[in-house]
């Protein structure tokens, strides 16, 4: 281990030695944390010389020491989802007062990791960290080494939970740069069904959120998953979502990236057994100097699996979007059906898109396609609307709204859908009209 | 093969033959590379001082560079000190008996006559074809129009100003590891200059190059089309080529001035290595780039069926307003072949457009990668790009990979990229079988259909041969 590489006053030096500890955590996790800490120290902060970070510079972060976020209070009144089961974490720590996790339906466990890890035979203790590739994801390694709490959602086999499960992570800054590492583990038993909303918000100050979410779907499980990130512009958000799916399971996941000055989301999806299906969609809505980076890595490891990805982006101001979608089809994964699409709409002259869809295919009996488009609104469509009496601003707002609607309309939780619609309305010059017209 | 093709083939072989015959005696340098070797190469070729300095500059820069590791190919490390950078022509074989029987079988399938076979395989032939007259006629016709088409060494002697002006203007000596190495030690190559407003009346081909010689492993090509000129250039040939040099690092530079058009077609069929083990194949690491000024057009067409490893990205810098770039490619990997190929379209001027059609076919244990970049700079208003990358897999031990890089910095740009991967349908083969077409012919037919969009861009003679070549290259991988 080469600790001399991190100069004092750098980000790495400020976070490298921190190893978290949760009361009663299993030895396996203690070892894993050490391994993760070593992995992070060895790798250091990624630079643009590394392929996976080529278009996302962390130079500003590298020179900013961060300290762990201190406990704080938060106000969440307008953030709740009516009728949901809810856990709220403020700066990575459970806030029991804000949470609402009593009266849970049968078969659902929703509790902080802190208690759950102490149960040696429980799902948390036995599986946590299993889906995370520490070598490829230095920030996930940092999270693994340091996380002090997080959420566990466990569904008994056959459990069907109607109400959405809302995990709200609030980052409250205090002037100095702080960081937190929330952790989520969702273990869906065979044949279970649920809807989970991961929700990241924040207030004030320079902050860094490094969430890691593991999704494990047993045979036949169906999981609807929404990832909503609306942190303030002063925040950086670098997340990993790692999923692993067993036979005939179905994951419908949508990532909505709206907030933060710098956001990077890595999504690792493994289709491990035949018949699994993953739909990984996303929308990024960025403006000003925002920088969004999505790295999808979908691995087909078994035959007869399907994966569909649709990522749409709307860019304004001097924002920049990076999309890197990789589909790997293993030699064993015959009859794979994989479709990936990345569509970008540029609203301003200063916006920049890097779209890199990738296919790596080692099986011959497959159907794999990817497509990528970048452009502005279709002038003919604008003309058509204008010929019907709409002014330019309204016509463009309507078309932009419609562009996003394909993703927004499919969000399974009404309250989240409305939040996104409000964001869209706020960003478009004639957004309110567009929403009404739509 | 049509009569026309046959005639061209005949010419081709003769000139090739001629090239060997007129080769002057040369010594071979001992393996190794240092400044003295670079100087010695330059001295051998009697180059002007600036050329020697240019080579040395490249060599010094090369020392600071490291070999790229990012391509999706694997090969044992190359020892650059174990290569001889100036070699005498290959020793002639005594008879066809000494040639690899597999290669001979391929010649027969491609329908190459016996004399041509000898020439292609590098067997000494006593009967000298009457090629001088052909070459002379050809040369006269070009000279009449002011077209310069000669070897690089000759160009340095006869037209040093032109060479000096354009050499390294598209691929600078600092460009990349292999291009820089080439700049330091390149042996020879071709030089073409088409004057203002001249439409070159015939397709220029290395076949016909006057005084063709064994250009060796570091070939350098420079083509300049002056304002309003038009030229079509053919490189390579369909017959399998064997070479004792495993590493080939060529550089091709195209300069299309205002309103000019350059069409560059390649058929590459270097020895792909042993079918069972993959040993001994050629490493083909090529840098090809064109610079298109105002209203100029550069079109690359390539059929890559040979080499153990192909690593090349024929690119176009669309510098001038309204310039056009095109890339049509068929890359086939069978046996143990690996290909990492594609293109770069750099849109700098306004109203520029580019088209990319890439067809990758993987069979056997072949690994085929498309890697391309489309970049639209901030000021490139109304840039337009259409990319299509299709892959076809034959068998379950091969791989097909697609890595497009798309960087768009202008909202008026319109960029579309599509990629698909598929296999040959069992139903398609069955349909052909029940019509009495053997499985092998059916596959060849379907693959040719898959590649049609690219083949139609090839000059006619090349297209016919390329189709046949695909069928031959795929042999043994179906079943």
Residues B81, B86: Cα–Cα separation, whole Å = 13
- Higher-scoring residue by pLDDT: B110, B130: B110
| Inside any domain, residue B250 | yes
- Identify whether the C-beta of residue B385 lies closer than 8 Å to the C-beta of residue A372: no
The whole-number pLDDT of residue A365 equals: 85
- Hey, what are A315's tokens? 């860019």
> Which residues of A fall within a CB distance of 8 Å from B419?
357, 359, 369-371
Across the interface, whether the CB atoms of A364 and B423 are under 8 A apart is answered yes
Across the interface, whether the CB atoms of B421 and A373 are under 8 A apart is answered no
Which residue of chain A is at minimal alpha-carbon distance from B361? A364
The whole-number pLDDT of residue A2 equals: 41
| DSSP one-letter code for A77 | G
User: Would an 8 Å CB–CB cutoff place A51 in contact with chain B?
Assistant: yes
Per-position b or e across A230-259, b if 16+ CB within 10 A of its CB: bbbebbbbbbbbbbbbbbbbbbbbbbbbbb
- Higher-scoring residue by pLDDT: A204, B165: B165
Across the interface, whether the CB atoms of A353 and B401 are under 8 A apart is answered no
For testing contact with chain B, the best of A51, A286, A362, A378 (most B CBs within 10 A): A362
Question: Which of A263, A375, A368, A274 minimizes the C-alpha distance to A326?
Answer: A368
Q: For the segment B243-275, what is each residue's pLDDT rounded down to a tens digit? A: 556 788 889 999 999 999 999 998 887 778 777
**A143-147, B20-24, B162-166 — which is least confidently predicted?**
B20-24
The whole-number pLDDT of residue A21 equals: 84
- Higher-scoring residue by pLDDT: B53, B138: B53
Residues B218, B216: Cα–Cα separation, whole Å = 6
Of the partner residues B398, B403, B411, the one whose CB lies closest to the CB of residue A376:
B411
| DSSP one-letter code for A261 | S
| Inside any domain, residue B283 | yes
Per-position b or e across B121-136, b if 16+ CB within 10 A of its CB: bbbebeeebebeebbe
CB contacts < 8 A (A, B): 108
| Inside any domain, residue B119 | no
Residues B26, A72: Cα–Cα separation, whole Å = 82
- Higher-scoring residue by pLDDT: B144, A276: A276
> Which residues of B fall within a CB distance of 8 Å from A361?
391, 393, 399-401, 421
Domain coverage including residue B185: 148-424
How many domains does chain B contain in total?
1
Q: Which of A292-306, B25-39, B428-442 has the highest mean pLDDT?
A: A292-306
Q: What are phi and psi of B188, to 5 degrees?
A: -165, -170
Across the interface, whether the CB atoms of B413 and A51 are under 8 A apart is answered no
Per-residue pLDDT band at A342 (split at 50, 70, 90): very high
| Inside any domain, residue B192 | yes
- Higher-scoring residue by pLDDT: A303, B474: A303
Quote the mean pLDDT of chain A: 91
Q: For the segment B60-117, what is each residue's pLDDT rounded down to a tens digit? A: 999 999 888 888 888 888 888 887 777 654 455 566 666 666 666 666 666 555 555 5
Beta bridge partners of A306: A277, A337
Distance between B17 CA and the closest CA of chain A, angstroms: 43
Residues A43, B171: Cα–Cα separation, whole Å = 35
3-state secondary structure chain B: CCHHHHHHHHHHHHHHHHHHHCCCCCCCCCCCCCHHHHHHHHHHCCCCHHHHHHHHHHHHHHHCCCCCCCCCCCCCCCCHHHCCCCCCCCCCECCHHHCCHHHHHHHHHHCCCHHHHHHHHCECCCCCCCCHHHHHHHHHHHHHHCCEEEEHHHHHHHCHHHHHHHCCCCCCCCCCHHHHHHHHHCCEEEEEEECCCCECCCCEEHHHCCCCCCCCCCEEEEEEECCCCEEEEEEECCCCECCCCCEECCEEEEEECCCCEEEEEEEECECCCCCCCCCCCCEEEEEEEEEECCCCEEEEEEEECCCCEEEECCEEEECCCCCEEEEEEEEEECCCCEEEECCEEEECCCCCEEEEEEEEEEECCCEEEEEEEEEECCCCCCCEEEEEEEEEEECCCCEEEEEEEEEECCCCCEEEEEEEEEECCHHHHHHHHHCCCCHHHHHHHHHHHHCHHHHCCCCHHHHHHHHHHHHHHHCCCCC
Q: What is the mean pLDDT of residues A268-282?
A: 97
Question: Which of A280, A283, A140, A308 minimizes the C-alpha distance to A223?
Answer: A280
Across the interface, whether the CB atoms of A348 and B400 are under 8 A apart is answered no
User: Any idea how long chain A is?
Assistant: 438
The whole-number pLDDT of residue B133 equals: 41
User: Would an 8 Å CB–CB cutoff place A328 in contact with chain B?
Assistant: no
Distance between B378 CA and the closest CA of chain A, angstroms: 8
Residue A313 C-beta-side C-alpha neighbours within 13 Å: 30
Q: What is the mean pLDDT of residues A198-219?
A: 94
> Which residues of B fall within a CB distance of 8 Å from A367?
420-422
| Inside any domain, residue B276 | yes
| Inside any domain, residue B134 | no
3 state SS of A211: coil
Residues A16, A40: Cα–Cα separation, whole Å = 7
Quick check: B319 pLDDT over 90? yes
> Which residues of B fall within a CB distance of 8 Å from A348?
411
The whole-number pLDDT of residue B32 equals: 81
User: Would an 8 Å CB–CB cutoff place A374 in contact with chain B?
Assistant: yes
User: Would an 8 Å CB–CB cutoff place A301 in contact with chain B?
Assistant: no
- Hey, what are B103's tokens? 């290669």
The whole-number pLDDT of residue B15 equals: 36
The whole-number pLDDT of residue B472 equals: 75
> Which residues of A fall within a CB distance of 8 Å from B391?
359, 361
Across the interface, whether the CB atoms of A352 and B412 are under 8 A apart is answered no
The whole-number pLDDT of residue B103 equals: 62
Residues 6+ apart with CB under 8 A from A388: none
- Identify whether the C-beta of residue B477 lies closer than 8 Å to the C-beta of residue B364: yes
Distance between B363 CA and the closest CA of chain A, angstroms: 9
3 state SS of A394: helix
**Helix pair angle (B3-21, B114-121), 10° resolution:** 40
Checking DSSP bridges between strand B399-408 and strand A352-361, what pairing results, if any?
A: antiparallel
**Share of residues in chain A with pLDDT > 90 (%):** 71
| Inside any domain, residue B337 | yes
Neighbours of B311 (CB within 10 A): 23
Neighbours of A177 (CB within 10 A): 20
The whole-number pLDDT of residue B121 equals: 54
Of the partner residues A348, A354, A359, the one whose CB lies closest to the CB of residue B406:
A354
Per-position b or e across B324-333, b if 16+ CB within 10 A of its CB: bbbbbbbbbb
The whole-number pLDDT of residue B11 equals: 42
For testing contact with chain A, the best of B334, B361, B374, B409 (most A CBs within 10 A): B409
Look up the ipTM and state it: 0.77
Neighbours of A379 (CB within 10 A): 9
Residues of chain B that touch chain A, judged by Cβ-Cβ distance less than 8 Å: 70, 378, 391, 393-423
Distance between B358 CA and the closest CA of chain A, angstroms: 14
Quick check: A258 pLDDT over 90? yes
Q: What is the mean pLDDT of residues A135-139?
A: 93
User: Would an 8 Å CB–CB cutoff place A324 in contact with chain B?
Assistant: no
> Which residues of B fall within a CB distance of 8 Å from A360?
399, 401
Between vectors from CA B372 to CA B174 and to CA B384, what angle results, nearest 5°? 105
Distance between B266 CA and the closest CA of chain A, angstroms: 26
Per-residue pLDDT band at A109 (split at 50, 70, 90): very high
| Inside any domain, residue B57 | no
Quick check: B378 pLDDT over 70? yes
């Amino acid at each position: 281990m080469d600790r001399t590489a991190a100069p004092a006053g750098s980000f790495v030096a400020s976070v490298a030695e921190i190893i978290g500890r949760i009361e009663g955590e299993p030895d396996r996790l203690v070892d894993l944390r050490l391994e993760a800490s070593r992995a992070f120290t060895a790798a250091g902060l990624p630079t643009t010389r590394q392929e996976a970070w080529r278009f996302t510079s962390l130079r500003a972060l590298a020179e900013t020491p961060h300290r762990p976020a201190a406990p704080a209070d938060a106000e969440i009144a307008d953030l709740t989802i009516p009728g949901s089961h809810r856990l709220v974490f403020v700066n990575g720590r459970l806030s029991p007062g804000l949470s609402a996790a009593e009266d849970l339906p049968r078969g659902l466990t929703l509790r902080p990791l802190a208690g759950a890890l102490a149960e040696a035979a429980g799902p948390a203790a036995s599986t946590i960290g299993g889906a995370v590739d520490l070598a490829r994801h230095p920030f996930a390694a940092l999270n693994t080494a340091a996380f002090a709490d997080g959420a566990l959602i466990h569904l008994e086999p056959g459990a069907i939970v109607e109400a959405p499960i809302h995990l709200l992570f609030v980052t409250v800054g205090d002037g100095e740069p702080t960081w937190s590492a929330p952790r989520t583990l969702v273990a869906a038993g065979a044949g279970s069904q649920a809807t989970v909303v991961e929700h990241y918000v924040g207030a004030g100050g320079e902050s860094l959120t490094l969430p890691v979410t593991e999704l494990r779907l047993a045979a036949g499980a169906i999981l609807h998953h929404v990832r909503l990130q609306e942190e303030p512009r002063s925040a950086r958000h670098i997340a990993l979502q790692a999923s692993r799916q067993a036979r005939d399971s179905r994951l419908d996941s949508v990532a909505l990236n709206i907030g933060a000055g710098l956001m990077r989301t890595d999504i690792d999806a493994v289709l491990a057994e035949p018949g699994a299906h993953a739909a990984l969609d996303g929308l990024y809505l960025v403006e000003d100097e925002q920088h969004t980076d999505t790295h999808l890595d979908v691995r087909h490891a078994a035959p007869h699996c399907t994966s569909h990805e649709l990522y749409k982006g709307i860019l304004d101001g001097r924002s920049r979007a990076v999309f890197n979608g990789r589909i790997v089809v293993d030699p064993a994964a015959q009859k794979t059906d994989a479709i990936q699409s990345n569509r970008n709409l540029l609203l301003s002259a200063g916006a920049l898109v890097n779209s890199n869809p990738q296919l790596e295919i080692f099986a011959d009996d497959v159907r794999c396609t990817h497509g990528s488009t970048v452009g502005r609104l279709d002038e003919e469509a604008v003309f058509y609307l204008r010929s019907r009496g709409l002014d330019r601003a309204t016509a463009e707002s309507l078309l932009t709204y419609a562009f996003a609607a394909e993703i927004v309309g499919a969000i399974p939780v009404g309250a989240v859908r409305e939040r996104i619609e409000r964001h869209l309305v706020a960003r478009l010059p004639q957004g309110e009209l567009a929403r009404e017209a739509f | 093969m049509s009569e026309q093709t046959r005639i061209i083939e005949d010419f081709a072989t003769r000139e090739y033959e001629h090239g060997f015959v007129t080769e002057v005696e040369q010594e071979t340098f001992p393996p190794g590379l240092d400044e003295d070797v670079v100087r010695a190469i330059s001295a051998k070729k009697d180059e002007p001082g600036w050329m020697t300095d240019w080579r040395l500059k490249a060599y010094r820069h090369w020392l600071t560079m490291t070999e790229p590791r990012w391509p999706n190919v694997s090969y044992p490390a190359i020892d650059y000190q174990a290569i001889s950078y100036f070699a005498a022509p290959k020793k002639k074989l005594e008879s066809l008996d000494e040639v690899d029987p597999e290669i001979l079988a391929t010649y027969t399938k491609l329908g190459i006559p016996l004399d041509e076979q000898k020439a292609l395989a590098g067997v000494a032939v006593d009967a000298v074809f009457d090629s001088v007259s052909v070459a002379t006629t050809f040369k006269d016709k070009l000279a009449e129009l002011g077209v310069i088409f000669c070897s690089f060494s000759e160009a340095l002697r006869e037209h040093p100003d032109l060479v000096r002006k354009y050499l390294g203007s598209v691929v600078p000596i600092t460009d990349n590891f292999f291009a820089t190495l080439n700049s330091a030690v390149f042996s020879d190559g071709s030089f073409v200059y088409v004057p203002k407003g001249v439409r070159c009346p015939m397709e220029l081909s290395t076949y016909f190059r006057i005084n063709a010689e064994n250009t060796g492993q570091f070939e350098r090509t420079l083509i300049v089309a002056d304002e309003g000129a038009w030229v079509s250039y053919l490189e390579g040939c369909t017959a399998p080529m064997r070479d004792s040099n495993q590493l080939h690092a060529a550089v091709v530079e195209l300069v299309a001035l205002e309103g000019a058009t350059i069409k560059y077609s390649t058929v590459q069929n270097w020895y792909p290595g042993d079918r069972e083990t993959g040993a001994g194949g050629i490493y083909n690491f090529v840098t090809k780039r064109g610079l298109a000024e105002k209203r100029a057009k550069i079109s690359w067409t390539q059929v890559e069926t040979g080499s153990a490893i192909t690593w090349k990205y024929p690119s176009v810098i669309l510098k001038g307003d309204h310039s056009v770039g095109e890339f049509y490619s068929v890359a086939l990997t069978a046996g143990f072949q690996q290909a990492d190929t594609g293109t770069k379209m750099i849109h700098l001027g306004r109203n520029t457009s580019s088209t990319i059609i890439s067809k990758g076919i993987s069979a056997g244990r072949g690994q085929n990668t498309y890697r391309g970049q489309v970049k639209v700079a901030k000021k490139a208003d109304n840039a337009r790009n259409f990319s299509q990358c299709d892959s076809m897999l034959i068998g379950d031990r091969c791989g097909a990979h697609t890595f497009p890089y798309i960087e768009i910095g202008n909202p008026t740009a319109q960029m579309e990229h599509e990629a698909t991967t598929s296999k040959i349908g069992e139903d398609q083969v069955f349909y052909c079988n029940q019509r009495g077409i053997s499985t092998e012919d059916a596959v060849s037919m379907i693959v040719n259909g898959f590649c049609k969009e690219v083949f139609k861009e090839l000059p006619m003679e090349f297209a016919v041969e390329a189709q046949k070549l695909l069928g031959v290259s795929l042999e043994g991988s179906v079943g």
